[in-house]
A and B are shown apart, each in its own frame.
Chain A
Amino acid sequence: MESVAKRALALTLAACLILAVMGRLAWAKGLALGGLVSVVNFALMAWLLPKAVGMSRRRSEGWAFGSLALRFSLMALALGLCLYKPQSLSVAACAAGLFVVQLTLLTDRFLPERWREATWGVNERWKT
């Protein structure tokens, strides 16, 4: 999970640098905020949701809804900040940044096998 977070942050940083060099500072800042919140959301998910495994059904449902409410509030806060100060933080870039972890998860699957092994620590064992 740490490697996914690291890759997502690296991807965000690279995109922000490109946008900053192009002079799109509001876009870069919005993307940085969205990407950071996306990684924090994933980290919270990785920390909170496994605790629900082993709870009673009623408690685990409450825990999952509570976790979702907390993480959605965090993302809403980031979007709200951008909507409050649209001149310095781009809303569209922040919204795109919120999907950085999902993008990393999807693109990592289609990397060459050698890189994928480094990220996920697994290989196609059934083939050998």
Chain B
Amino acid sequence: MVISDDLWVQAAAFVGAGFAVGFGAIGAALGEGYAAGRAGQAISHNPSLSDDIVKTMLIGQAVAESAGIFALVVAMLLVFKDVEGESLLSAFAYLGAGLSMGLAAIGSGVGSGMPAGAACEGVARQPAALSTIRTNMLVGSAVCQTPSVFGMVVAFMLLFIDWADRPFWPTWAALLGAGISTGFSAIGPGLGNGITANEATLGVARQPETSGTLTNTMLIGLTVAQSTVIYGFLVSLILLFIPKPESMAMVAWAAPLSAGICMGLGGIGPGIGEGITAAYAVRRVARDVEQNVLLTRVMLVGQAVSESTGIYSLIVSLLLIFVV
């Protein structure tokens, strides 16, 4: 039995859809479950505030679900994609799209659930600051979604750009590598941002009058922690838009695929590490707001050191793309 190219492309689109919505649902469900668990704890500490705590939980969960909805949209586009007459290269583009979106949604989904859980705990401790706590939670949760937006942008490029004019060898590896690079590298920053936003929300509950300073410090920490997903996105763009000459040599296809894997995996650790650094800084700012400038400076130095392995990954990826 001979399987046509159309059938392979259709199968790859279905597998890509499975990756997108499957990984996306893991992130959303874990984030929502985490928020619900901490809401339950908060209610057991202060049952009289159960109404406010449940409302806060639901608001946080609604935002945490956004990455899952991005993943669902990409999955549905893959399922209903008209593949008639498409080249075999599209199969790898669709697999890459599913991986990019699904993996990126894991970090953002789990990360967004963390400030939601912290807000529930904060409301139980400091009900008078309910509105301020919710505002900080929403800002933190919304920023946590940014890595999944990068994943979605790469998925859309893989889905909607026509790659038919490129040679099959080694472009298939570049398309798959592009999806892997942004997908994996978004996991770390999503989780790291969640860890920071969690501490900032607890800090606002502890000292509501410092909320302005805390939110600013949190935003600086979150922005720096997102650097590695930007590196992953950059590697994806290079892989997608700098065409390579046709070659079936093993090095020609292994290099772009390895570049994507290198940057993708290399972005996970620094993203989480930088988030932890920012979380400790934010926690101390909530206790001693006068030391904000010094703590922010130390946080930035710590984050820069933590990021160095992400930069090594970027350099090795660029070497694999341009030198090998």
Contacts and interface: CB of A to CB of B under 8 A. Distances in A.
Interface string A35-72: 00000001001100110111000001100110011001
**What's the interface size class on A, roughly?**
35 or more
A75 B72 contact: yes
Contact of A124 (B59, B66, B76, B132): B132
Contact of B62 (A68, A84, A102): A102
The DSSP consensus for interface residues of chain B is helix
A105 B63 contact: yes
Nearest to A54: B40
B55 A1 contact: yes
Given A65-B29, A72-B21, A101-B62, A125 B135 contact: no
A91 interface: yes
Given A53-B36, A72-B21, A95-B73, A1 B58 contact: yes
B54 A122 contact: no
Given A1-B55, A53-B36, A123 B131 contact: yes
Interface string B114-149: 000000000000101111101100110010000000
B252 interface: no
A80 B72 CA distance: 11
A72 B68 contact: yes
Given A122-B130, A125-B129, A52 B135 contact: no
Nearest to B76: A79
Interface residues of B, number: 43
Interface of B: 21, 25, 28-29, 32-33, 36, 39-40, 43, 52, 54-55, 57-59, 61-63, 65-66, 68-69, 72-73, 75-77, 79-80, 126, 128-132, 134-135, 138-139, 142, 208-209
Interface of A is mostly: helix
Contacts, number: 100
Contact of B40 (A53, A68, A75, A83): A53
10 contacts: A53-B43, A54-B40, A68-B28, A68-B68, A72-B72, A76-B76, A102-B66, A125-B128, A126-B129, A126-B208
Contacts of B57: 49-50
A72 B25 contact: yes
B76 A49 contact: no
Given A53-B40, A72-B21, A116-B131, A84 B80 contact: yes
Contacts of B52: 122
A91 B21 contact: no
Nearest to A63: B36
B77 A49 contact: no
A16 interface: no
A109 interface: yes
A28 interface: no
A96 B55 CA distance: 24
Contacts of A4: 59
Which of B29, B57, B59, B132 has the most C-beta atoms of chain A within 10 angstroms of its own C-beta? B59
Contacts of A123: 131
A126 B126 contact: yes
B71 to A, nearest CB: 9
Given A72-B72, A125-B129, 5 more contacts: A80-B80, A99-B66, A101-B62, A102-B66, A109-B135
A71 to B, nearest CB: 8
Contact of B29 (A68, A102, A126): A68
Given A64-B36, A98-B73, A125-B130, A46 B25 contact: no
